[in-house]
């Protein structure tokens, strides 16, 4: 069974003491660039909160100590009863997107 998507929330920035608000259960997550809506990350996982916490959202520059500028990100989550249900929901979502894109061309 799949529940509904959460509202979009601002992705916490390192060093600000902000927390991720996500289920500690199987589900789907989606992370996008806030300004453009461009997809950053997407996945079906066993533990949504852990997956979001482990995402590489910033990195150190190769040529200095300063981190590269990270875009403003936002995320939403959808809890499911199992990882298999999350994967099935993702497959349906991808299928709908492909159908839409082929019809729009």
Average pLDDT over residues 43-57: 90
Tokens 């497959």, residue located: 91
State the Rg of the chain over Cα. 15
- pLDDT (tens digit, 9 = 90+) per residue, 65-103? 555 566 789 999 999 999 999 999 888 888 777 776 677
pTM of the model: 0.77
Whether the per-residue pLDDT at 18 is higher than 80: the answer is yes
> What structural domains and CATH numbers belong to the chain?
9-104 (3.40.1440)
Tokens 């159908």, residue located: 99
Write out the two tokens for 37. Answer: 């809506």
As a whole number of angstroms, the distance between CA 87 and CA 33 comes to: 23
- Beta bridge partner(s), residue 79: 27
pLDDT at residue 8, rounded to an integer: 95
């Amino acid at each position: 069974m799949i529940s509904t998507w959460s509202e979009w929330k601002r992705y916490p920035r390192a060093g600000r003491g902000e927390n991720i608000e996500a289920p500690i259960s199987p589900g789907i997550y989606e992370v996008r660039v806030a300004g453009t809506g461009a997809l950053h990350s997407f996945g079906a996982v066993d533990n949504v909160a852990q997956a979001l916490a482990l995402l590489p959202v910033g990195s150190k520059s190769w040529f200095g100590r300063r981190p590269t500028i990270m875009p403003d990100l936002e995320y939403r989550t959808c809890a499911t009863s199992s990882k298999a249900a999350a994967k099935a929901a993702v497959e349906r979502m991808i299928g709908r997107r492909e159908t839409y894109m082929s019809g729009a061309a």
